[in-house]
Structure 1
Amino acid sequence: MDAFLVSTGIVGLAEIGDKTQLLAFLLAARFRRPLPIVLGIFVATVANHAFAAAVGALVSQLLGAGVMRWVLGLSFLAMAAWTMIPDEIDEEEAQLAKYGVFLTTLIAFFVAEMGDKTQVATVALAARYESMAAIVAGTTFGMMLANVPAVYFGERIANRVPLRLVHGIAALIFAVLGIATLLGMGEGLGF
């Protein structure tokens, strides 16, 4: 349950103001068909984060526990810094409308998520926790918590959410996880 809750919280916070959330705003404004957009986000996220979790689990198996602790600790600290950098959306990610609402969303989200903060976080979380299913479920739920309101309420909520505060909280969580990992906290719990 810890893996699910930590994954949900980290990705949910990291996604606020992220380029894929900006993409959700853009798609919602352009198509005004929320259900296929939400379904496209869900399918793209499950596929992308399942791949990322598999990479994280593989990395965890290939590296020894001592090396893995340092890699994860430093990765979480890097994620803390990266979370504070605002994202922008690429123009080509916004130019896929010829494929229909669902397929456009699925392709755009899958591509935009490649190498994104939340995908990298999913890799690190899967390397740290043993339950790949809990990580994928948690990171997907976090993405949906951040993006579904963006699709349905868009601009009305975007101007009310203090992005610097949310990014600061996400960065703090990443930093705490990084420091705790580097100090070996939680080793008796399997991570």
Structure 2
Amino acid sequence: MDWRVFLTIFGSVFIAELGDKTQLATMLFASDKEVSKYTVFLAASAALVVAAAFGVLAGSLVSEYISERYLHYVAGVGFIGIGIFTLYHA
């Protein structure tokens, strides 16, 4: 395993998820005193693992047909577009 790649991906995803609606929803579920915190943790973790698996699968399928270079461009333009949209509506 390439630890540099692992830590880069971990750090990127971790920072992206902080304060995200997923984390806020998980905090809301965990605030219910009648719900086991272990159940909330396991369910939220499983959901993130499945979502990540879809991302890996989609990325590997798309990369079969589109160059990695163009995927980086599309992702960059997409993030910039989302940022502009967010700033416009703020």
Instruction: Flag whether TM exceeds 0.5 (same fold).
Output: yes
1:40 correspondence with 2:43: yes
In structure 2, which of residues 20, 26, 29 is the aligned counterpart of residue 27 of structure 1? Answer: 29
Alignment partners' CA distance in 2, 1:74 and 1:28: 36
Structure 2 unaligned segments of length 5 or more: list them.
none
Partner secondary structure for residue 62 of structure 1: coil
Alignment partners' CA distance in 1, 2:48 and 2:38: 15
Aligned to 1:109: none
Aligned to 2:6: 4
In structure 1, which of residues 13, 16, 28 is the aligned counterpart of residue 15 of structure 2? Answer: 13
In structure 2, which of residues 46, 49, 54 is the aligned counterpart of residue 51 of structure 1? Answer: 54
Alignment partners' CA distance in 2, 1:15 and 1:66: 25
Deviations 1:164-191 (A, max 9, x none): xxxxxxxxxxxxxxxxxxxxxxxxxxxx
- Deviation of 1:58 after TM superposition, in Å, equals 1.3
- Deviation of 1:3 after TM superposition, in Å, equals 2.8
Q: How does 1:109-188 map to 2 (within 5 A)?
A: none
Deviations 1:23-53 (A, max 9, x none): 1111111145211111111111111110111
Distance of aligned partners of 1:66 and 1:11 in 2 relative to their CA distance in 1, 3 Å threshold? closer
Question: TM-score, normalised on structure 2?
Answer: 0.72
Aligned to 2:70: 67
Alignment partners' CA distance in 1, 2:69 and 2:16: 27
Alignment partners' CA distance in 2, 1:45 and 1:65: 24
Give RMSD over aligned pairs: 2.3
Question: TM-score, normalised on structure 1?
Answer: 0.38
Q: How does 1:60-99 map to 2 (within 5 A)?
A: 60-78=63-81, 81=83, 85=86
Which structure has more RCO (C-alpha within 8 Å, separation ≥ 6)? 1
Letter paired with 1:45: L
